[in-house]
């Protein structure tokens, strides 16, 4: 299990995004979709601890591998 206190850094690639909305559905505090194209908008690249589990789940659910998680290099944030 990952440590919930471990910092978490998210990135989103709108070129890959399929606009399916799984991220905004799963972690609405962290991800949104813009109104024009419905593509991912990253609200919080370093989400608060209480939103990290949902953010991780969204990364796993994204159908287009458009959002990524790299908790290693997040110490600088």
Partner 1 sequence: MSRPPCPRRRTGCPLDPPAGLTALSDKPLRRMRYADGHMGWLVTGHATARAILADPRFSSRYELLHLPVPMEGMVSGELPPAPVGDIIGLDAPEHTRYRRLLTGKFTVRRMRQLTERVEQLTAECLDAMEQAGPTADLVEAFAQPVPALMICELLGVPYADRERFQGQVATIFDQTADAEAKGEAYTALLQYLGELVLAKRAEPTDDLLSDLTTSDLTDEELAGIGGLLLAAGLDTTANMLGLGTFALLSNPEQLDALRADPALAEQTVEELLRYLSVADPLPRSALEDVEVEGQVIRAGETVTISVQATNRDPHKFPDPDRLDIHRKATGHLAFGHGAHQCLGQQLARVEMTVAFPALFARFPTLRLAVPPQEVPLRDRSNIYGVINLPVTWDKE
Q: Interface with partner 1 by CB under 8 A: which residues?
A: 18-22, 24-26, 28, 32-39, 57, 60-61, 63-65
What is the contact surface with ligand SF4 in residues (CB under 6 A)? 12, 17-23, 31, 33, 40, 62-64, 66-67
Within 8 A by CB and 6+ apart from 55, the residues are 8, 10, 27, 30, 31, 47, 69
Per the CB < 8 A criterion, the answer to whether 67 and 59 are in contact is yes
As measured in angstroms, the least distance from the Cβ of 26 to partner 1 is: 7
Which of partner 1, ligand SF4, none interacts with 28 (beta carbon under 5 to 8 A by kind)?
partner 1
Beta bridge partners of 10: 69
Distance CA 33, CA 31 (A): 7
Kindly tell me which of 47 and 75 has the beta carbon lying closer to ligand SF4. Answer: 47
């Amino acid at each position: 299990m990952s440590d919930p206190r471990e910092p978490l850094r998210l990135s989103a690639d709108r070129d890959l995004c399929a606009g399916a909305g799984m991220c905004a559905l799963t972690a609405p505090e962290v991800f949104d979709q813009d109104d024009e194209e419905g593509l991912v908008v990253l609200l919080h690249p370093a989400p608060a601890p209480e939103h990290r589990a949902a953010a991780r789940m969204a990364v796993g659910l994204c159908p287009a591998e458009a959002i990524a998680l790299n908790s290693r290099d997040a110490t600088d944030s």
